[in-house]
Amino acid sequence: MDFASLLTDVLREATGPTAIAYALAAIGLNIHFGLTGLINMGQAGFMLLGAYGFAISTIAGLPLVVAFLIAIGCAVVFALILGLPTLKLRGDYLAIVTIAAAEIIRFIGRSVGLNDLTGGSQGLLGNQFKYSFEGASPFADGLVAIGPISLQMNASNSWWLRIVGWGLVALACLIVFLLLRSPWGRVLKGIREDEDAVRALGKNVYTFKLQSLVLGGVFGAVGGIVISLASSVQPDSLGRPVTFNTWTILLLGGAATVFGPVLGSILFWAALVLVRGLMRGLIPPDVLSSTEIEPLGFVLVGITLVLLIVFRPQGILGDKKELAING
Tell me if residue 146 falls in helix, strand or coil. Answer: strand
Neighbours of 323 (CB within 10 A): 15
Residue 189 interacts with another protein (CB under 8 A)? yes
Of the residues 108, 117, 143, 171, which one makes contact with another protein according to CB under 8 A:
108
Site for another protein in 40-99 (CB under 8 A): 85-86, 88-93, 95-97, 99
Choose the stretch contacting another protein; rule: CB under 8 A; options: 56-64, 145-153, 160-168, 172-180: 172-180
Q: How far is the CB of 236 from another protein (least distance, A)?
A: 4
Choose the stretch contacting another protein; rule: CB under 8 A; options: 49-57, 58-66, 68-76, 102-110: 102-110
Site for another protein in 200-259 (CB under 8 A): 200-205, 211, 215, 231-232, 234-242, 244-245, 247-248, 251
Q: Which residues contact 167 (CB under 8 A, 6 or more apart)?
A: none
Residue 291 interacts with another protein (CB under 8 A)? yes
For another protein, the closer CB: 22 or 159:
22
Q: How far is the CB of 169 from another protein (least distance, A)?
A: 17
d(CA 27, CA 260): 8
Site for another protein in 126-155 (CB under 8 A): 126-127
Q: How far is the CB of 188 from another protein (least distance, A)?
A: 10
Residue 325 interacts with another protein (CB under 8 A)? yes
Of the residues 11, 267, 283, 316, which one makes contact with another protein according to CB under 8 A:
283
Of the residues 73, 137, 186, 316, which one makes contact with another protein according to CB under 8 A:
186
Amino acid at residue number 55: A
Residue 110 interacts with another protein (CB under 8 A)? yes
Distances (CA, A) of 259 to 23, 113, 209: 9, 42, 22
Amino acid at residue number 117: L
Q: How far is the CB of 99 from another protein (least distance, A)?
A: 6
Q: Of 208, 193, 316, which is closest to residue 265 (Cα–Cα)? A: 316
- Which helix (H) or strand (E) element contains residue 113? none
* Residue 122 C-beta-side C-alpha neighbours within 13 Å: 10
Residue 100 interacts with another protein (CB under 8 A)? yes
d(CA 25, CA 102): 14
Distances (CA, A) of 149 to 10, 285, 306: 10, 27, 34
